[in-house]
């Protein structure tokens, strides 16, 4: 199992190298550590208690998934806890508390419920932003998909994935002050696609359902 909370990419490379040396016939998988706080750009991430349902933590966690799929080239990701009773607050007393960070809860699920539901009758479910982040990966990274390389410094924030008849690009931009377009390789493309990236705020997370128009050939070649 790949431990997603290793703080740096260097640490993770070392872990993968050691694992492959000791167990050459075994493939590593990613498993979420469920309880991790840190900044959107990945700095400060570590195992920790605390509840953070904000886009800040989602960017941090999506960065872990990109790192495991792209850097470690791991074929599988497990998210252990779907529904958690650990928001660390009482939604019956403050309905908006499930949207705010606190130090009493745990960032260990994608859907939350009131831990006191048996006594207060609150059976509501609270969907976190982590749910929608997982949805993006689940929609486009299907079993049997092939990951294709992206050869530039945006590679740890983007994935190039194809199936037998589909081609997908997933990208993350956690820096609201800077927007760049990854250099998507055109080699081995089954379909003629052009990367088209709108200037969107960081809170859009993984640019949802971005339409990528077909490339138009000019004098027999693609621009």
pLDDT in tens, 25-47: 887 777 766 677 877 777 777 77
pLDDT tops 80 at residue 142: yes
Residue pLDDT, tens place only, 90-112: 999 999 999 999 999 999 889 99
Residue pLDDT, tens place only, 52-72: 998 888 888 888 888 888 888
pLDDT tops 70 at residue 176: no
* Tokens representing residue 70 in the block: 């792209």
Q: Show the 3-state SS of the chain.
A: CEECCCCCHHHHHHHHHHHHHHCCCCCCCEECCCCEECCCCCCCCEECCEECCCHHHHHHHHHHHHHHHHHCCCCCEECCCCEECCCCCCCCCCHHHHHCCECCCECCCCEEECCCHHHHCCCCEEECHHHHHHHHHHHHCCCCCEEECCCCCCHHHEEEEECCCCEEEEEECCCCCCCCCCCCCCCCCCCCECCCCCCCCHHHCECCCCCCCECCCECCECC
Residue pLDDT, tens place only, 74-83: 888 777 788 9
As a whole-number percent, the residues of the chain with pLDDT over 90 amount to 21
pLDDT tops 80 at residue 155: no
**Would you state the pLDDT for residue 203?**
42
**Would you state the pLDDT for residue 112?**
95
More confident residue, 157 or 20: 20
pTM beyond 0.85, yes or no: no
pLDDT tops 80 at residue 181: no
């Amino acid at each position: 199992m790949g431990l997603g909370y290793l703080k740096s990419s260097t640490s993770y490379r070392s872990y993968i190298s050691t694992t492959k040396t000791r167990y050459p016939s075994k493939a590593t998988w990613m498993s979420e550590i469920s309880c991790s706080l840190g900044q959107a750009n990945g700095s400060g991430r570590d195992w920790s208690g605390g509840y953070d349902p904000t886009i800040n933590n989602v960017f941090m966690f999506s960065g872990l998934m990109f790192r495991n799929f792209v850097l470690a080239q791991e074929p599988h990701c497990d998210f252990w806890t779907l529904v958690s009773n650990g928001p660390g607050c009482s939604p019956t007393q403050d309905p908006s508390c499930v949207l705010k960070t606190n130090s009493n809860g745990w960032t260990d699920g994608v859907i939350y419920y009131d831990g006191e539901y048996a006594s207060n009758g609150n059976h509501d479910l609270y969907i976190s932003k982590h749910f929608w982040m997982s949805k993006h990966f689940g929609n486009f990274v299907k079993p049997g998909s092939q990951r294709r390389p992206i050869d530039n410094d945006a590679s740890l924030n983007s994935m190039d994935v194809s199936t037998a008849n589909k081609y997908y690009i997933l990208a993350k931009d956690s820096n609201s002050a800077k927007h760049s377009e990854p250099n998507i390789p055109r080699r081995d493309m089954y379909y003629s696609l052009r990367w088209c990236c709108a200037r969107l705020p960081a809170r859009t997370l993984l640019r949802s359902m971005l339409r990528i128009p077909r490339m138009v050939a000019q004098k027999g070649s693609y621009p």
